[in-house]
Amino acid sequence: MTVFFDVDGVLIDYNERPRYEAIDLLRAMVACGQNVFVWSGGGKDYAEHWVRKLGLEDLVTAAYAKDPALKPDLAIDDVPGADLGLLGTMIVTFAHD
Ligand SMILES: [Mg+2]
């Protein structure tokens, strides 16, 4: 299964602090054998920057600019109503912020 994680609001908050719960979810999905990608509306370079900064290079298959044409199986996003994945979109929110 291909799982795409958003950057802003998912892997980092809007103050650029890591969201460790989401990063743990990413690690767990890789451990379960899922094929994990990172994408961002900020573009490919921005997504790659955060993969490196968060130390996820060995876990993430590739980073992309967000493009609905890529159609992941599952998307992890912070925007309610986002329809990005073939199976659907898991919305993660700032329950503790
Ligand atoms: Mg976002």
Map 56-73 to HEC letters. Answer: CCCCCCCEEECCHHHCCC
Whether the per-residue pLDDT at 17 is higher than 70: the answer is yes
What is the pTM assigned to this prediction?
Answer: 0.92
Whether the per-residue pLDDT at 94 is higher than 80: the answer is no
Tokens 């890789």 belong to 30
* Superfamily for domain range 2-91: HAD superfamily/HAD-like (3.40.50.1000)
- CA dihedral (53, 21, 78, 32) positive or negative: positive
Whether the per-residue pLDDT at 95 is higher than 70: the answer is no
- C-alpha 53 to ligand 1 mean position (Å): 17
- C-alpha 81 to ligand 1 mean position (Å): 12
What's the whole-number average pLDDT of the chain? 92
Domain range list for the chain: 2-91
Query: H/E element holding 80?
Result: none
pLDDT per position as a tens digit, 26-48: 999 999 999 999 999 999 999 99
Query: H/E element holding 40?
Result: strand 35-40
